[in-house]
Structure 1
Amino acid sequence: TGAPVSAAAMAALIARMTPALEPSPVLQEFLTIMRTVEIAPPPLKPIQSLLVRAAIDLVPADLRRRLDLGADQGLRPWERPMVRFAGSLADRIRLDGSPAVQACRRLGLPANHLYGHR
């Protein structure tokens, strides 16, 4: 509850939190885990590291610097179009074990209800 509902609210939240944030080996360990643990389904495993870098890229540049998240940890310019394309496909792929499909089933809706009935 209480998640930011606008870009301005997100910016305000980051501004409030920034003074308390500092680099930590724990952050680097977490990022390593996110890159290597089997999170994605096998067909998507090759792009897992790419998506982690995309998530880092979403962090404002000044906050990345503060947390010692180097430029090498974000996306390379040529990877951005690949991530955009992957994001556009993700909305079309129904994974039967996903929370969205499970919620549809609990509500008695078709499994593809949230996927535009594609």
Structure 2
Amino acid sequence: MTRQLLVFQKELQEGSRKPEHAKQYEKYFHVHETPVRGSKVVAKQSAIIEAKKNYGFFALISNEVKDPIEALNTYRNKDLVYQLDGIECFGRPGRDLHVVEVTTSQQELFQKLGVMPPSSL
């Protein structure tokens, strides 16, 4: 994107405008022309920042979810699941490991009481 913007700016500064780039000139640059000093090209930073924010692509590959909308929703919601709960393993003397679910609110309660929460194995 930056290379393309530099090409547009160079075309405007040299006066070699191309008709197919007219929309991009208008969108990304402000051209101020005077009879004595010629033309001055100033980039519209807000338009460039907005375009760069939405520029590019990413690939989402899944073996289970085949629907693209469902896959995107699953990807966007995965962080929410990790923030909510955790799985903890407690060792009890003379017994097997006890696996329980510890929520974020329970972890905060441990911290408020000044007690170390059990660590995962």
- Give the structure-1-normalised TM-score: 0.21
For the pair shown, the structure with the greater C-alpha radius of gyration is 2
Structure showing greater relative contact order (alpha-carbon pairs closer than 8 Å, 6 or more residues apart):
1
Structure with more of its chain in strand, by fraction = 2
Structure with more of its chain in helix, by fraction = 1
- Give the structure-2-normalised TM-score: 0.20
